[in-house]
Structures are given as structure tokens and as C-alpha cells.
Structure 1
Amino acid sequence: MTAARFRDTITGAVALVGLTMPSVSSGQAPSPTAPATDPSALFRGATNDPYQLALRAYVWGYPLVRAAQLRQNITLPPPTDSGRPAPPLSAPLNQIGHARALATSDMKQGVAPNNDTLYSLAWLDMNDGPFVLETPDFGTRYYTFQMGQADTSTTQSPGQRTNGSHLPAIFIQGPNQHQIVPAGMMLVRSTQRYMMIAGRILVKGTDDLPAVHALQDRIVLRRYADYMAKRQVPAPVGEQRPLTDAVRAASPSLWFLDMLGDVLRDWRVTPTDAGLVASFAQIGLSPGEGFRPERLSAAQRDALTRGVAAGERAVRAETLTLGTRVNGWGINYAGSQFGSDYLLRAAVAMDQIYVLPTEEALYPNARTDGSGRELDGRKSYVLRFAKAQLPPVKSFWSATMYFAKGLLVPNPIARYSIGDRTPGLVYERDGSLELVMQHDRPKDSTVNWLPTPDAPFMLMLRLYNPEAAVLDRRWTPPAITETATR
């Protein structure tokens, strides 16, 4: 993987999955038949082999770099000579930015954008904290505020599911802050210097946008000191360590390790990861000094180049299953709580960064039909839910169509997703629901048509507030099947 390939993908990734922002690091879709990798084998036993250490560093560190790059893309304006527009959710550190329109095919930044909710996004520098987040009363409307850690994991996502229509004020502390939580507030603790807040608010249609904008405008984020003083002023913005210093790298192909070294210089290594991170010193990578390739021989640098490439291949292969593969769907039942499964964490960061905890949402993702053949919009397909097998959710569900690389598909009816809230949804006489996926407009105007590109595609289900049958795997998505053109 070259520096340019990694940079082009990671710096363009601004739309979020769960946030959904699935992405593939080289900008290429993985082969639907790529082999999976045994995650336990990658980190089994001690080693001083530079190839193996570089592979481990890539898999372990990929989510850290992805999150840091996302943070800088959102909080720092792009260089004037880059030709890149500012992301729609951009806001300085410690401030919150709001998306004001649902994603469409005109959105070219990021991968697999959400077409169901509007986002409100903030990155916090906990060196400036603690912070207080206040939100309005949402009534019966679905909403959630994800508290994303800097390694892309999430354990807290308070919202309608956890607290009903109105959240208490949320008190956010950093790893070195130990203030007593004010009475009536909810504690959220960041494990690292930086933390992400991603609010999602359901939009019922274009006419509903002004109501959602009014709710967004009543979200208040400020330092605890300003909250106590009743000041509504922006928090100070500190310097962020650049992640683009490729000067130290002996080769552009080692640029990833250079960025990981920069991230590690701000990183609090957990006891669980301490031994692994300490082993990276053998390849010139350490929290104290970052990446120092000049200390390595030419043979070692060559081994690192090959190890990084192997790490990318392993992560890319894992994106095809995301833990479990059933009926052609890849399903991550671990959600955003990865434990020591570093390969799954990396695959989710590559394909669906900052997913919500599974009790909040699940994201089955299909690149193949039930027979394992690649989905291709030059063919026709049907996804049929029997009456008793409709997605069991307490909030809502949707199925969104993407090009294989994750962009929404332009089409003559401006329909990017179908779900239980789609106006005019037609059920069969037996109560089943069929979604027809093809490029050309069906001759029968009553079918539930989700337009495809005339090229390979992927389909993503979003199951918000899934019921127990989903989480314990009694319910799984039916296979997508090829059919005659409608």
C-alpha cells in the first residue's frame, strides 16, 4: 500500500456508518471471495520478526490512525491548495457541527453514508475538559448520542432507547480528570486524550428537516467551567499533532507507520496492550519517540514494507465477514466492543468506522447473493422478507444501496434506501415484503424498487434498536436472490 493510496482514502473519509462510514483503505472494493484470516493466529506468541511485527502494528494500529485522521479532517480546514471542500460536519475541536441535509448521490466524501438521520458531530480534546453536553426534549423521535473512543470502540450511546425523550446533562471527563459528577448528570469517561460525540436524529422526510434543525440548534456543548459560570462561549482550541510528517519515513510505503508513531505519542497504552506495543520498539515504533526507521537496516525496512501490505490484506479479507457470514451477509455481532479482537476492530474501522453498540444498531452488509456470487447491477435481484421474518426492530430499519466502493447511487427517483418508513411500501397478499433491486425502472410500477448502478454494488441493512431475536441470532437476513428483470 503506497502512502498516496492510504492518504487519498483516509483523508477523503468524512461521512460516518454507524456513523456509517465503511471504507476500504486502498479505495478498491474487496473481492467477495477473499479468504478470511484467523484473528488469533496474527497475535499468537512473541516474535522479533520485523515482517510479523509490522503486520501486527498495522492491524492493531489501523483504527487508531483512521480515527485520528477523521478527527483532523473534521476539525481542521483542508489546505487551500488541496482542492478539497470542508466536510459538511466540520467544526473546530471542542465544538459541535451539524449536517443539515440527508446524504444523496452528490455526496462524494466518505463511504456508505447514512440516509436515515442527520448527524451532529464533535471531537473533544480532553486536555481542555471536563465538558458538559446538553440536549433538548426529542419527544417520540428516535435519537442517540454515541460516545466514541479514540480506538473506534463505543460502550455508551445514550438516547431514546436508554433514557426516553430527554437525556440528563452529560458530564464528560478525560482519563486524568477525577471530578465528582454533578448531581443529576450522566458520566461519560474518555480513555484517551481525544473523544468523539456523534449525535443521530431521525428525519422523517424532506418536510421534516426544519424540525430536526430546530432540535440541533438546541444542542449545547461547553466546558464544565463555562457551564458553571453560565457562559456559552467556545472552548479554547489546542494544537493537534500533525499526521502528515512523512519526512522521517525511509520509504513512502512506511508512511502508515509514521502516522501511527505520531498517534502513539499522545496515546495512553492500556495494560492489555502494553506487551504488544512494547514489542513494536524492535521495528523503531514506540509511544515515546514515534517511528524511527533510520535505526533500521535496509532488510528490516523491506520486511516492514511487506508486513504493512500483508496487514492491509488481512484486514481487507476480514471486512467480508465482519465476524460472521450468513446468507451472503457479513454481520458484526460484536458491534463496537472488540475486546482483544484487533482484526475485527480494524476491519470495522476500514469498512464501517464508529458503528454503534449492537443493542443500538446492527449493520448487515451484503456484497454477494445467497450463492456467493458478486452482486452486480446489470442483473436483477430480490430481497424477500416473509411476513413473520420482517426485521424485528423497536425503532426502524432500512436497506441502502451503494456502489461497491460505498457511494450512493444516482437514480431517476432519487431513492437511496427503502425501509419500514418508506411512503407507499407495497406488501404481498401473504404479508411478505419484496424489495426489487435492478438498474432499469420496473414495468410494474407497484413493486418496491431500489435502483442499482449498472455495476457491482453492495447493500447495507441498518437495524436500529434490534430486538433480542436479532442479537441472539434467531433472526438473520434472508439471502438476496437473482431474478428475472421485472
Structure 2
Amino acid sequence: MLEYAQMYSQALDTADASFTGFNRFAHDRNLARPGYAPFKTPNADTLYSNAWLDLSHGPVVLSVPDAGTTYFTVNFLDIYGNSSNISARTRGFGPGKYAIVPLGWEGSLPDGVEKFTVTTPYCWILMRVLAKDLSNPARARQVQNGFTLQPLSQPDGQQESFPAPAGSSAEQYLRVLDWIVRNAGYPVTETALVHRYRAIGVGLGPEAIDKAFADPDLVAGIKAGHAAALEALDNSSRLSGYPAATWKMPADTGAYGYNYFYRAAINTLGTGANVSIENYPFNTFADGDGDPLDGGKHDYRLTFAPPPPARFFWSLTLYDAKTRELSANPIARYIINDRTPGLVRTGSGAIPIAIQHERPKGKSLNWLPAPDGPFYLVIRAQGPEPALIEGKWLPPAVQKVKP
């Protein structure tokens, strides 16, 4: 539902400020900051570009420029949030042309164009281009400009109308789900599961949904189940992943298989999660004592010794737990990364970080400002090294500063 709502806003709703239509990039020319609207828990050191592909009429060709030494990933997410990449990791930094095709497509392609298959005919591109200089992402903007999309054919008939995802009611959720299973496909191994949804009209069309919502007893059950699911997701999104002491590490992020609840929990926390071999993330809502992180109650310390082992870059980003957005602060710092100007290291190379609401005293610490309230932290390692993937590097606990 969350991805579909983004698709509707960007590709279908002409009255929406983010509207671009299908098969066109919308480039964010500035780094995400507090109030960033497209989705929650964004990176703060990459420029984003978004595009929704409609492959129901045929392939769309993605042109990739020569990125030099600038890291990028074109992250493809099918309508269910499963991820694949054309990136500096998978294809190198050089140029290329790729025909993005849906599963089962057969046809001829122009010379010099490589076939790249995605699993659903409606697909989200969430592209990230690294801004090496956070104060001036001009080079990242130049790289963005080199990415283009070109459909190989045009629509040749009427499409079924897309239901508007207004609000978050149980009825609207089922109308969207009905449209998705009939128009975007699903794995053949889930046929029996999807067939069971027909009891409440899903998979049979809008008239069947109307009929289901004309039955008071059925409506009561649907609404109760929907409310229980939302409550469970709200309670569980911060618990997603495998435990790594008080941190959580990825459990097949971006490649969920049959773990539907985990997929929903991850997307509730923030849509657009990548596979862990591209970006290895950790998150925590708790300090080393297991208490919720709260800048209004405590000052904290975190020391990387060493920092996350990553081929391309690493970062530590702080988010307001109430809004799941970057937290406004007086020095406009939302992230500590390997390119933070004036990054303080100890003689042994360790990186000590003060996470607190008020500016710390002295200059021996890197300050990551916290809100006067609950927050959470995300570590990202883009292009994780084997030590990360094999579990040999784990993040240190966030420690309270004792009075």
C-alpha cells in the first residue's frame, strides 16, 4: 500500500506536487533534510532520484553515464518491495544501456542494449548518487543528469483505472490490493494464498469489493483485522531484523521471500530498503542498557573502533522517532560519515561520537545533535566488506553519559 501510494502520487495524480508521470525521472537536487516528503528514514548523504516504470506496454531503456569515481545505485523495487540493482557494485562506474523488462517478456532489443529483468510490470526506481561534498553536491547532480529513461513502445489501448489510495481505511487497502493482484502479478507459488482473498472480493474486481462491503458482518471482521495488523506493525517496526546486542541487523532486507510481516514492518519504518549486499544497515532505538534512546533524558557516546568496513562509504544517521524524519538542529548536522569535515579520530584511529541535545564541551568529540525526545540511529555501509557480511564487525552499544 505504501509503495502504491507513492506510485499514485508521482505517476498518476496530476494534481500532486511530485507528479512526473510514468517512465520519467524526478531528480532531487538537494540532500534530504528535515521534512523530506517522499518517504521516511532517508539517507542524508546521497541525492535521490525517483521514477515509476510502467512496463505493461514493453521495455524501458535506462541509459547510465560514466560516473567516474562517484558511487551510484539504481535500485529497482517491484510493487512488493523486493530489490535488485544496477550499480557501481554490480556493473562498475562506466556507462551502459539496459532494457528493463518484466518477468516473462520476450522480444528483440536494439544493439548494445542489455536485458535487465524485474519481477512486476510496475516498478519503482529509487536511485542514489553519493554527494562526496555535503555542502556542495554539484558533482552528484552532474551524474544524476546522465541517467535517462526511454520507453521502446507507447500504450496502445485503454488501461484499467487505478484506485486512489486516499486515507488508510481497510476498504481502500483492499481496493488497492485487488488492483495489484489483478494487474501487477504475484509469484505462482502464492496462488493458493491469493485465491483465499477472494472470500472478501480481492482478485475479483471492484464490484466484488463493493459486495463484500455491503455485508455488515464481513465489514466488521475486515476492519478488526486491518486495525490489528496496523497495531502489530507499529509495535514491531522497531524490532525488525536480527539482534546484534541492542542493534538490529538485516534479515534479508529487500529480498523477503515469504516473510510478509517482516516486509511490511521494514516498509512501515521506511520504504525503499535495498538488499544487504548493496547496503548493510543496522538500526537501534535503544542504548546499551536496553532503554529507549531519548535526547531529553540522557547524553550518549558511541565510539567506532574501527568504523563500519565498507567499500564505498559508511554513515551514522539520526532520526526523530516520532516523525521518522531527520531531526532539525542548530548546526544542520544529521549524519556522521567517512567524509564529515573535521572528523575527529583518536590516536588509535577510533571515532568518538557525542549524541546529545546540547553541544558537548571540548573538541575531542564528533557531535551528532539529538532531539529533546525519542530518536533512533541507522548505520549504513554501502558495499559492505566481508567482515560485515560474515558478522565479524558489529556496532558498539550506545552508552549513556553518567552524571
TM-score (ref. length: structure 2): 0.91
Matches within 5 A, 1:9-408: 65-77=1-13, 79=15, 86-87=17-18, 90-108=19-37, 110-154=39-83, 156-175=84-103, 177-206=105-134, 208-224=136-152, 241-244=161-164, 252-289=169-206, 292=209, 294-295=211-212, 297-378=215-296, 379-387=298-306, 390-404=307-321, 405-408=323-326
- For 1:475 and 1:432, the matched residues in 2 are separated by 14
Q: Displacement of 1:286 after TM fit?
A: 2.0
Q: Which moved more, 1:183-192 or 1:374-383?
A: 183-192
Instruction: Letter of the 1:385 partner, please give it.
Output: F
Q: Displacement of 1:291 after TM fit?
A: 5.2
Q: Displacement of 1:288 after TM fit?
A: 4.3
Secondary structure in 2 matching 1:349: helix
Instruction: Letter of the 2:396 partner, please give it.
Output: P
Over 6 Å off, 4+ runs: 235-238
**Cα RMSD for the two superposed structures:** 2.6
Secondary structure in 1 matching 2:56: helix
Residue 389 of structure 2, aligned match among 465, 468, 471: 471
Instruction: Letter of the 2:64 partner, please give it.
Output: T
Shift in CA distance, 288/105, structure 1 to aligned 2, threshold 3 Å: closer
Match of 1:60 in 2: none
2:8–2:164 Cα contact (<8 Å) kept = no
1:104–1:408 Cα contact (<8 Å) kept = yes
- For 1:337 and 1:108, the matched residues in 2 are separated by 25
- For 2:228 and 2:134, the matched residues in 1 are separated by 45
Shift in CA distance, 479/208, structure 1 to aligned 2, threshold 3 Å: same
- The percentage of aligned residue pairs carrying the same residue is 31
Larger strand fraction of residues? 2
Shift in CA distance, 408/167, structure 1 to aligned 2, threshold 3 Å: same
1:333–1:471 Cα contact (<8 Å) kept = no
Shift in CA distance, 106/69, structure 1 to aligned 2, threshold 3 Å: closer
Query: Structure 1, residues 123-169: CA drift from partner, whole Å, max 9, x if none?
Result: 11112321111121111111111122111101x31221122221421
1:131–1:171 Cα contact (<8 Å) kept = yes
Structure 1: give runs of 5+ residues left out of the alignment: 1-64, 80-84, 227-234
Q: Displacement of 1:75 after TM fit?
A: 2.0
Shift in CA distance, 337/481, structure 1 to aligned 2, threshold 3 Å: same
Q: Displacement of 1:439 after TM fit?
A: 0.4
Secondary structure in 2 matching 1:262: helix
Query: Structure 1, residues 386-410: CA drift from partner, whole Å, max 9, x if none?
Result: 24xx211111111111110211111
2:6–2:38 Cα contact (<8 Å) kept = no
Secondary structure in 1 matching 2:188: coil
Secondary structure in 2 matching 1:147: strand
1:142–1:395 Cα contact (<8 Å) kept = yes
Shift in CA distance, 108/171, structure 1 to aligned 2, threshold 3 Å: closer
Shift in CA distance, 330/207, structure 1 to aligned 2, threshold 3 Å: closer
Match of 1:440 in 2: 358
2:39–2:270 Cα contact (<8 Å) kept = no
Q: Displacement of 1:237 after TM fit?
A: 11
What is the aligned residue count? 400
Instruction: Letter of the 2:383 partner, please give it.
Output: N
Q: Displacement of 1:334 after TM fit?
A: 0.5
TM-score (ref. length: structure 1): 0.76
Secondary structure in 1 matching 2:137: helix
- For 1:348 and 1:455, the matched residues in 2 are separated by 23
Secondary structure in 2 matching 1:460: strand
Residue 337 of structure 2, aligned match among 415, 419, 424: 419
Q: Displacement of 1:102 after TM fit?
A: 0.6
Shift in CA distance, 238/283, structure 1 to aligned 2, threshold 3 Å: closer
- For 2:301 and 2:160, the matched residues in 1 are separated by 48
Greater length-normalized contact order (CA 8 Å, ≥ 6 residues apart): 1
Q: Displacement of 1:238 after TM fit?
A: 7.7
- For 2:361 and 2:339, the matched residues in 1 are separated by 24
